[in-house]
Amino acid sequence: MSHFIDRRLNGKNKSTVNRQRFLKRYKSQLKRSVADAVNRRSITDIDSGERVGIPSKDISEPVFHHGKGGIRDMVHPGNKDFVTGDRIRRPEGGGGEGSGQGKAGKGGKGDDDFVFELSREEFMDLLFDDLELPNLVRNQLMGTTEFKTIRAGYSTDGSPSNIDVVRSLKGAIARRTAIGAPLRARARELEEELQTLLDGGTDETDARVREIREEIDRLRTRIAALPFIDTFDLRYQSFTKLPEPTSKAVMVCIMDVSGSMDQVRKNLAKRFFILLYLFLQRNYDKIDVVFIRHHTIAQEVDEQEFFYSRETGGTVVSSALNLAYDILKERYDSSVWNIYAAQASDGDNWDSDSTVCRDLLVEKLMPLMRYFAYVEITPRQHQSLWYAYQEVRAMHRHFAMQEIDGPEDIFPVFRELFRRQAA
């Protein structure tokens, strides 16, 4: 009468499409949450999900309902000392809404934000959306490990194109030998017996001789009937995917923290560094990040200080480049480490320092680098640093520079980088 079905192995993501639609519908609100999260998070921690919130009123589904007021009669349980005709002061916040429906687990009051968790993919997707990354690049960034296909012996199933003929035929021979062996042994025995009988002068028409001959014939037919090749014999070349061995990279983040770099610009710079970090993460197993901030003096700091401390004063870019060079020489051997550097600045520099920077880069730093990216976050005219760097770019192909106004300008810097990697 009852019928049991085990559905546990069925897909569990029946609601994925609904979830996607929900996210799509509230994309703009979610983007805001993601932007906040990016500013709050550490660069190296960017690659995970996030809790986001949407104001509840934005996602309500309206229906006609009664408002406050009028006469309402309600029945409640648990009377202690009321008697008919008692008058009670109205409790704060109006009468209970209870109609017995009970919203399980909404935890009472105050759900003014609808908060939930975004998965890593969803989070990154929204982030990339903000940066206007093309899909190809998205995939490259989102993709996890690269795999290499290698041989892994033989298996009993596979696609026909992978059949190993020699192996399969060897198997067939073995099978024929093994199954045919008792038959052949028996046939040999009978032949010997027949020979003895014939040698002993027994007549061909003798019953026993005829019997033996028939038996031998039968055995031979059976041996002949053994299939030449059987699906059982088939062997396929097996391949397995091995994660590509990756190596180490170091990312040097250099940022100008002089007074003219405000928080908005720093956040822009942060996006830029995040993107570079993600790119490196996709390509390398282990990544070190070095943060160097500078005004007139450069200093190696931790991330928190890098993005959020305020400094004032003039700007001497070469101090940071010198420090970077020292750190690389000391800790990161360029034969072991892939070195990437990203510099963000508003373009201010001491006039006489710009040529120093150019020479430093060309002679000392660029030979060590896999890639050096410079972004200038400024609405103004370019200054000497820009022109000095243009000379560097002319000399080194792995040097990129870009002017940034908003987050959507960040990507072009990477375009070249990705093209190079793809090649």
Partner 1 sequence: MSKNLISDSSEWSFPLLERFDREIGRLARDVYGLDTYANQIEVISSEQMIDAYSSVGLPINYPHWSFGKQFVATEQTYRRGQMGLAYEIVINSDPCIAYLMEENTLPMQALVIAHACYGHNSFFKGNYLFRTWTSADAIIDYLVFARRYIAECEERYGEAEVEMLLDSCHALMNHGVDRYKRPTPLTLAEEQRRQKDRAAYLQSMVNDLWRTLPTFDVDGGGEQDVRWPEEPQENLLYFIEKNAPLLEPWQREIVRIVRKLGQYFYPQRQTQVMNEGWATFWHYTLMNHLYDDGFVTDGFMIEFLQSHTGVVFQPTFDVPYYNGINPYALGFAMMRDIRRICEQPTDEDRHWFPDIAGGDWLKALDFAMRNFKDESFVAQYLSPTVMRDLRLFAISDDDREEHLEVTAIHEEQGYRALRQSLAEQYNLGSREPNIQVFNVDRRGDRSMTLRHYRHNRRPLGDSVEEMLRHIRRLWGFTVRLETLDENGRTQLIGEC
Site residues for partner 1, 17-56, by CB under 8 A, read 17-25
Neighbours of 395 (CB within 10 A): 11
In this chain, which stretch among 107-115, 148-156, 240-248, 318-326 interacts with partner 1, using CB under 8 A? 107-115
Site for partner 1 in 293-332 (CB under 8 A): none
> Which residue is listed with tokens 């109609």?
99
Are 342 and 272 in contact, with CB atoms under 8 Å apart? yes
In this chain, which stretch among 30-38, 78-86, 166-174, 215-223 interacts with partner 1, using CB under 8 A? 78-86
In this chain, which stretch among 62-70, 316-324, 341-349, 404-412 interacts with partner 1, using CB under 8 A? 62-70
Facing residues of 372 across strands?
341, 399
Q: Which is nearer to partner 1, 72 or 208 (CB)?
A: 72
Site for partner 1 in 163-222 (CB under 8 A): none
Site for partner 1 in 232-271 (CB under 8 A): none
Question: Rounded distance, CA 376 to CA 342, Å?
Answer: 11
Question: Rounded distance, CA 267 to CA 339, Å?
Answer: 23
Number of residues that bind partner 1 (CB under 8 A): 71
In this chain, which stretch among 2-10, 154-162, 282-290, 388-396 interacts with partner 1, using CB under 8 A? 2-10
Q: Does 93 bind partner 1 (CB under 8 A)?
A: no
Question: Rounded distance, CA 276 to CA 137, Å?
Answer: 12
Q: Does 104 bind partner 1 (CB under 8 A)?
A: yes
Residue type (1 letter), 149:
T
Q: Does 286 bind partner 1 (CB under 8 A)?
A: no
Are 58 and 25 in contact, with CB atoms under 8 Å apart? no
Neighbours of 402 (CB within 10 A): 18
Contacts of 286 (CB under 8 A, 6+ apart): 247, 248, 249
Find the shortest distance in angstroms from Cβ 54 to partner 1: 9
Q: Does 10 bind partner 1 (CB under 8 A)?
A: yes
Query: If 0-12 CB within 10 Å is exposed, 13-18 middle and 19+ buried, where does residue 87 land?
Result: exposed
Q: Which is nearer to partner 1, 90 or 419 (CB)?
A: 90
Find the shortest distance in angstroms from Cβ 85 to partner 1: 7
Structure tokens at 300: 């190696």
Helix (H, G, I), strand (E, B) or coil at 81: coil
Q: Which is nearer to partner 1, 2 or 312 (CB)?
A: 2
Q: Which is nearer to partner 1, 91 or 143 (CB)?
A: 91
